[in-house]
Amino acid sequence: MADFVGRGGRPDGAPGLILNVAVLGEGMHVGAWRYRAGAASDFTDIGFYQEIGRQAERGRLHAVFLADTLACAEENFERPNLGAIDPTIALAGVAAVTSHVGLVATASTTYNEPFNLARRFSSLDHASGGRAGWNIVTTFVPDVAANFGGDRLPAPTDRYARAEEFVEVVIRLWESWEDGALVGDKIGGLFADKARVRAIDHQGAHFSVRGPLTLPRTPQGRPVLFQSGSSGPGRELAGRTADAVFTAQNVKANAQAFRADVRARAAAHGRDPDHVKITPGLLPILGGTEGQARARKDELDRLGGQAELQKLALRIGVKVDALELDAPLPLELIEANQDFRGSEGFRSAAIALAREGRLTVRDVLYQNGGGHQQVVGTPEQVADVIEEWYRDGAVDGFNVMIDVLPDGLMDFVDQVVPVLQRRGVFQRDYAGTTLRQNLGLPVTA
Amino acid sequence: MADFVGRGGRPDGAPGLILNVAVLGEGMHVGAWRYRAGAASDFTDIGFYQEIGRQAERGRLHAVFLADTLACAEENFERPNLGAIDPTIALAGVAAVTSHVGLVATASTTYNEPFNLARRFSSLDHASGGRAGWNIVTTFVPDVAANFGGDRLPAPTDRYARAEEFVEVVIRLWESWEDGALVGDKIGGLFADKARVRAIDHQGAHFSVRGPLTLPRTPQGRPVLFQSGSSGPGRELAGRTADAVFTAQNVKANAQAFRADVRARAAAHGRDPDHVKITPGLLPILGGTEGQARARKDELDRLGGQAELQKLALRIGVKVDALELDAPLPLELIEANQDFRGSEGFRSAAIALAREGRLTVRDVLYQNGGGHQQVVGTPEQVADVIEEWYRDGAVDGFNVMIDVLPDGLMDFVDQVVPVLQRRGVFQRDYAGTTLRQNLGLPVTA
Report yes or no: B177 and B137 within 8 Å, Cβ to Cβ.
Answer: no
pLDDT bin (cut points 50, 70, 90) of residue A146 is: very high
Partner residue opposite B79 with nearest CB, options A79, A96, A191: A191
ipTM of the modeled complex: 0.94
Rounded-to-integer distance, Cα A222 and Cα B305, Å: 33
CB within 8 Å: B149 and A208: yes
User: Which residues have C-beta within 8 Å of that of residue B244, sequence separation ≥ 6?
Assistant: B18, B133, B224, B225, B226, B227, B276, B277, B278, B279, B396, B439
pLDDT number for residue B365: 83
Report yes or no: B101 and B128 within 8 Å, Cβ to Cβ.
Answer: no
List domains and CATH numbers for chain B.
Answer: 16-439 (3.20.20.30)
Rounded-to-integer distance, Cα B308 and Cα B365, Å: 7
Residues 283 through 342 of chain B touching chain A, CB cutoff 8 Å: 303, 305
Rounded-to-integer distance, Cα A174 and Cα A115, Å: 10
For residue B206, give the chain A residue with the closest CA: A149
The answer, yes or no, to whether residue A135 has pLDDT greater than 70, is yes
pLDDT number for residue A2: 38
Taking contacts as CB-CB distances below 8 angstroms, the residues of chain A near B128 are 46
For residue A303, give the chain B residue with the closest CA: B189
Site from A29, A147, A173, A190 to mutate, B interface, most B CB atoms within 10 angstroms: A147
A144: closest CA of chain B, how far (Å): 9
Residue B135, strand partner residues: B106, B226
B158: closest CA of chain A, how far (Å): 19
The answer, yes or no, to whether residue A8 has pLDDT greater than 70, is no
pLDDT > 90: percent of chain A:
73
Can you give the C-alpha Rg of chain B in angstroms?
A: 21
Each residue's pLDDT tens digit, A357-384? 888 988 888 887 558 899 999 999 999 9
Q: Measuring CA to CA, which residue among A39, A172, A387 is closest to residue B185?
A: A39
Burial of B189 (0-12, 13-18, 19+ CB in 10 A): middle
Per DSSP bridges, beta strands B202-203 and B208-209 are antiparallel
- Crossing angle, helix B114-127 and helix B87-95, to 10 degrees? 20
Rounded-to-integer distance, Cα A173 and Cα A212, Å: 6
What's the length of chain A?
445
Partner residue opposite A120 with nearest CB, options B46, B86, B186: B86
DSSP B126-142: HHTTS-EEEEEE----H
pLDDT number for residue B2: 38
- Range from A7-11, A159-163, B75-79, B90-94 carrying the lowest mean pLDDT: A7-11
Find the helix or strand (DSSP H, E) in which B63 lies: strand B63-66
Q: Measuring CA to CA, which residue among B347, B426, B439 is closest to residue B383?
A: B426
Taking contacts as CB-CB distances below 8 angstroms, the residues of chain B near A197 are 72, 77
- Crossing angle, helix A252-268 and helix A232-241, to 10 degrees? 50
Report yes or no: A169 and A118 within 8 Å, Cβ to Cβ.
Answer: yes
What single-letter amino acid sits at A234? G
Site from B46, B69, B86 to mutate, A interface, most A CB atoms within 10 angstroms: B86
Each residue's pLDDT tens digit, A308-331? 888 888 888 899 899 998 999 898
Rounded-to-integer distance, Cα B172 and Cα B179, Å: 13
Burial of A308 (0-12, 13-18, 19+ CB in 10 A): buried
Find the helix or strand (DSSP H, E) in which B10 lies: none
Within a 10 A sphere around the Cβ of A190, how many other Cβ atoms?
14
Q: Measuring CA to CA, which residue among B374, B377, B386 is closest to residue B419?
A: B386
Rounded-to-integer distance, Cα B376 and Cα A159, Å: 56
A to B CB pairs, distance under 8 Å: 204
Contact with chain B for residue A38, Cβ under 8 A: no
Q: Measuring CA to CA, which residue among A228, A273, A262, A217 is closest to residue A440?
A: A273
Taking contacts as CB-CB distances below 8 angstroms, the residues of chain A near B70 are 115-116, 119, 214
Eight-class DSSP state of A416: I
Rounded-to-integer distance, Cα A161 and Cα A157, Å: 6
What single-letter amino acid sits at B267? A
Going residue by residue through chain B, which has 445 residues, state the pLDDT in tens, using 9 for 90 and above: 334 433 556 767 778 999 999 999 999 999 999 999 999 999 999 999 999 999 999 999 999 999 999 999 888 999 999 889 999 999 999 999 999 999 999 999 999 999 999 999 999 999 999 999 999 998 878 899 999 997 667 777 888 899 999 999 999 999 999 999 999 999 999 999 999 999 999 999 999 999 999 999 999 999 999 998 788 888 999 999 999 999 999 899 999 999 999 999 999 999 999 999 999 999 999 999 999 999 999 999 999 888 888 888 888 889 989 999 899 989 888 888 888 877 777 888 888 888 888 889 888 888 875 588 999 999 999 999 999 999 999 999 999 999 999 999 999 999 999 999 999 999 999 999 999 999 999 887 5
pLDDT bin (cut points 50, 70, 90) of residue A198 is: very high
Of residues A241 and A315, more confidently modeled: A241
What single-letter amino acid sits at B206? H
Give all strands (DSSP E) within A35-157, no chain letters.
63-66, 102-108, 132-137
Rounded-to-integer distance, Cα B350 and Cα B347, Å: 5
Report yes or no: B26 and B405 within 8 Å, Cβ to Cβ.
Answer: yes
pLDDT number for residue B393: 96
B326: closest CA of chain A, how far (Å): 26
Partner residue opposite B93 with nearest CB, options A83, A92, A212: A92
User: Which residues have C-beta within 8 Å of that of residue A404, sequence separation ≥ 6?
Assistant: A26, A27, A29, A32, A35, A36, A300
DSSP A238-278: HHHH-SEEE----SHHHHHHHHHHHHHHHHHTT--GGGSEE
The pTM of this model reads: 0.94
The answer, yes or no, to whether residue A86 has pLDDT greater than 80, is yes
Rounded-to-integer distance, Cα A269 and Cα A251, Å: 27
Residue A233, strand partner residues: none
Find the helix or strand (DSSP H, E) in which B285 lies: strand B277-286
What single-letter amino acid sits at A124? L
Partner residue opposite A123 with nearest CB, options B85, B97, B213: B85
Average pLDDT over residues A37-55: 97
Report yes or no: B223 and B135 within 8 Å, Cβ to Cβ.
Answer: no
Taking contacts as CB-CB distances below 8 angstroms, the residues of chain B near A147 are 115, 209-211
Average pLDDT over residues A248-261: 94
What single-letter amino acid sits at A256? Q
Partner residue opposite A147 with nearest CB, options B41, B149, B210: B210
Rounded-to-integer distance, Cα A174 and Cα B351, Å: 40
Q: Measuring CA to CA, which residue among B73, B306, B34, B309 is closest to residue A194?
A: B73
Q: Measuring CA to CA, which residue among B55, B64, B53 is closest to residue B21?
A: B64
pLDDT number for residue A6: 39
pLDDT number for residue A347: 85
Residues 126 through 145 of chain A touching chain B, CB cutoff 8 Å: 126-128, 143
DSSP B308-323: HHHHHHHHHTS-GGG-
pLDDT number for residue B286: 98
Rounded-to-integer distance, Cα B274 and Cα B437, Å: 14
Rounded-to-integer distance, Cα B33 and Cα B25, Å: 8
Of residues A89 and A14, more confidently modeled: A89
- Strand ranges of the sheet holding A224-228, from the earlier edge strand across to the other edge: A277-278, A244-246, A224-228, A132-137, A102-108, A63-66, A18-23, A397-401, A281-286, A372-377, A368-369
Partner residue opposite A40 with nearest CB, options B77, B176, B182: B182
Within a 10 A sphere around the Cβ of A355, how many other Cβ atoms?
13
Rounded-to-integer distance, Cα B8 and Cα B259, Å: 13
Partner residue opposite B214 with nearest CB, options A76, A93, A124: A76
Taking contacts as CB-CB distances below 8 angstroms, the residues of chain A near B79 are 191
B93: closest CA of chain A, how far (Å): 6
What single-letter amino acid sits at B445? A
- Crossing angle, helix A87-95 and helix A46-58, to 10 degrees? 60
Rounded-to-integer distance, Cα B44 and Cα A130, Å: 11
